[in-house]
Amino acid sequence: MRTAQAVAWKEIQVYFSSPTAYIVGMMFIALSGFFFARDLNDPFPQASLVNFFDGATIIFILIAPALTMRLMAEEQKLGTIELLLTSPVRDWEVIIGKYVASFVFLIATVSLTLYYTILLYVFASPDPGPIYAGYLGLALYGGAALAIGLLCSTLTSNQIVAAVVAMGILLVMFFADLAADNIGGTASTIISEISIRSHFEDFARGIIDTKHVVYYLSVIAFFLFMSVRALESRRWR
Amino acid sequence: MESSSKSTMIQATGLTHYYGPFPAIQDVTFDVRKGEILGFLGPNGAGKTTTMRILTGYMPPTRGTVTLGGYDVVEKSLEARRRIGYLPETVPLYTEMSVTDYLKYMGTLRGMPPRAIKARIDDVVGVCRLEDYRKTIIGKLSKGFRQRVGIAQAIMHEPEVLVLDEPTIGIDPIQVVETRRLIEELGKSQTVVLSSHILPEVSMICERVLIINEGRIVAEDTPKNLAEGLEGIERLEIEIGGPVTEVLPALRRIKGVSRVAHRSLPQKELYTVHVDPSVESGTDIRDEISKAVISSGWSLLSLQTVGMSLEEIFLKLTTHEDL
């Protein structure tokens, strides 16, 4: 466990000292600010973050892969993976360490948007429920996106490939419910349940449904598990 | 048997590894005794790196087993890995970290307690002569210094076995000498396995050499024995002033000469005489040659024996060419 911590701590330091991470963070703040401000220009503006949350789910498709693409791909490119895999470190410790680091950076970035909440409280009296639930949902959603990105990074030594594939998977999962609308029956239900977006909607409305929490946690667990297996598979490839 | 198994640090048995249908190594068997410096010698692509990677548990062999300190590197991987310090061929460094941070990180990954890491960094930095570069970002270091950082991380946790894959590749001659000295120093307290395609290096540092070619071990001995075992094939380089058409047959007539080659250089006629090792001429063949030359009225301008160097032994073993 201590080694997982060491991996996480090292990656966190890299995040906070690398320009890429700051650019990604800045992109998120700039874009989310646009979504937030869009609401305020309404003739009858609402003191809510619904638009910001909706926007954030889209922005995450871009920034989560950008944050995770480096994690494992670079180790493979630099050859440092050879040290990692010959150190007395379990494969899952590497994956968890990396994952936690990316999650910490994402949360740190998102926490900057608490500024919007403060603004709402200063100029109006918003309903706190949807805000709490929304941030919880966003954390879960972001966590799932990062896990997907991490798997892609584990599978290749090319960061660009890792990012593009992760974005592809996220986009497909994002729009899965639209595809589901065009077909009927059980298949439609299954496909719409896969959608990473449809599970988020309740959070933005202030509803914390265990079903959705379980969905995101399952996605995270599944992709992290696959990442560990992918790392292990390097040993017999 | 009991005592010999105790002193064996690494036991590799029947290692075979395939990359797809291509065998990288085949039936490689060897052992390394505790405290020994073993050299793997072979041309590029002979299977050295594959063997190193299997030893360190980076990948399992297709067939065969390796035990390290009694632990199977596949079955008891973590235990075996705890005992290894490894420097892969491409020195794996996080270029954005400082030397100290990197060593600290590697120490933690190897399971060292934080307090021990701090003290050990001072030692390691001293041993690898990195004192002035503790805070330097690794990306800014020259190749030779990066190599030292690579060795520093390998010895950080005082491993029982040190595996060094081509430790002196691509660094300048002065640094090569320093690196060799460092390895020799480390070899006094640790078991070292190193690979190289540079012969003098291996013969200088190692107590025992395995010559590996096309995935198989073709020879195994001390550098001295390897050289002696093939010493019989000797040559003479002779410069003779005289008509080539007459000198050649005259040299060939001498007892004990198996083959004569001739080269014309500007203002020089050079003959290479191969001595047949099976013929005991009783007298020194140089004596015979010089007599023959002088009695024919030619001038013997130079004569030197060329023993077989390790390079040639190596070439002979790995290319099956007659020199």
What is the average per-residue pLDDT within A127-142? 93
Q: What is the pLDDT of residue B251?
A: 84
CB contact under 8 A, B58 and A86: yes
Query: Best interface-test mutation with B: which of A76, A87, A94, A157 has the largest number of B CBs within 10 A?
Result: A87
CB contact under 8 A, A78 and B111: no
Residue B22 has pLDDT above 80, yes or no: yes
Domain boundaries, chain B: 2-229, 235-307
Task: Give contacts of A235 with chain B, Cβ < 8 Å.
Answer: 58-60
Q: Sorting pLDDT into bands at 50, 70 and 90, what band is B138?
A: very high
CATH pick for B235-307 out of 3.30.70.1340, 1.10.150.570, 3.30.420.40, 3.30.300.20: 3.30.70.1340
The complex scores an ipTM of 0.86
DSSP-derived 3-state class of residue A83: helix
Q: Sorting pLDDT into bands at 50, 70 and 90, what band is B282?
A: low
Say if CB A204 and CB A137 are below 8 A apart. yes
CB contact under 8 A, B93 and A78: yes
Could you give the C-alpha distances from B216 to A73, B17, B196, in angstroms and in order?
Answer: 33, 11, 15
CB contact under 8 A, A78 and B95: yes
What is the average per-residue pLDDT within A182-207? 87
| CATH number 1.10.3720.10 is the correct assignment for the domain at B2-229 | no
Q: Sorting pLDDT into bands at 50, 70 and 90, what band is B312?
A: low
Q: How many CB atoms lie within 10 A of CB B75?
A: 11
Q: What is the pLDDT of residue B2?
A: 39
Q: Sorting pLDDT into bands at 50, 70 and 90, what band is A104?
A: very high
Indicate the residue of B58, B78, B79 with minimum beta-carbon distance to A82: B58
User: Taking a contact as any Cβ pair under 8 Å apart, which residues of chain B between 103 and 162 contact chain A?
Assistant: 105-106, 108-111, 153
Distance CA B227, CA B312 (A): 9
Q: What is the pLDDT of residue B287?
A: 81
What is the average per-residue pLDDT within B26-50? 89
Residue B245 has pLDDT above 50, yes or no: yes
What mean pLDDT, rounded, does chain A reach? 91
The region of weakest confidence among A175-189, B227-241, B297-311 is: B227-241
Task: Give contacts of A90 with chain B, Cβ < 8 Å.
Answer: 78
What is the average per-residue pLDDT within A96-122? 93
Residue B56 has pLDDT above 50, yes or no: yes
What is the average per-residue pLDDT within A184-193? 85
The values of phi and psi at residue A234, to 5°, are -60, -30
The residue among B321 and B34 whose pLDDT is bigger is: B34
The DSSP annotation for A136-152 comes to: HHHHHHHHHHHHHHHHH
pLDDT digits over A140-164, tens only?
999 999 999 999 999 999 999 999 9
Per cent of chain A over pLDDT 90 is 64
Say if CB A56 and CB A110 are below 8 A apart. yes
Check if B58 contacts A (Cβ < 8 Å).
yes
Domain boundaries, chain A: 2-233
CB contact under 8 A, B105 and A10: yes
CB contact under 8 A, B109 and A234: no
pLDDT digits over A6-43, tens only?
999 999 999 998 888 889 889 999 999 888 888 777 77
b/e sequence A161-192, b meaning 16+ C-beta within 10 Å: ebbebbbebbeebbebbeebeeeeeeeeeebb
What is the average per-residue pLDDT within B137-156? 90
Question: Minimal Cα–Cα distance from B263 to chain A, Å?
Answer: 49
Q: What is the pLDDT of residue B5?
A: 45
Q: Sorting pLDDT into bands at 50, 70 and 90, what band is B1?
A: very low
What mean pLDDT, rounded, does chain B reach? 83
Q: What is the pLDDT of residue B318?
A: 64
Q: What is the pLDDT of residue B229?
A: 57
Tell me the torsion sign for CA atoms B170, B171, B173, B177.
negative
Could you give the C-alpha distances from A201 to A50, A96, A157, A198, A207, in angstroms and in order?
Answer: 9, 28, 35, 6, 9
Q: What is the pLDDT of residue A187?
A: 84
Residue B3 has pLDDT above 50, yes or no: no
Task: Give contacts of A3 with chain B, Cβ < 8 Å.
Answer: 108-109, 111
Q: What is the pLDDT of residue B4?
A: 45
Which chain B residue's Cα is nearest to A15? B96
Check if B57 contacts A (Cβ < 8 Å).
yes
Distance CA B119, CA B125 (A): 10
What is the average per-residue pLDDT within B180-189? 86
Say if CB B72 and CB B78 are below 8 A apart. no
Closest CA to A220 of A155, A141, A166, A163: A141
* Token pair in block for residue A7: 């991996």
What is the average per-residue pLDDT within B95-106? 92
For chain A, the residue count is: 237
Distance from first CA to last CA of chain B, Å, rounded?
42
CB contact under 8 A, B86 and A86: yes
pLDDT digits over B4-13, tens only?
445 889 999 9
Q: What is the pLDDT of residue B309?
A: 60
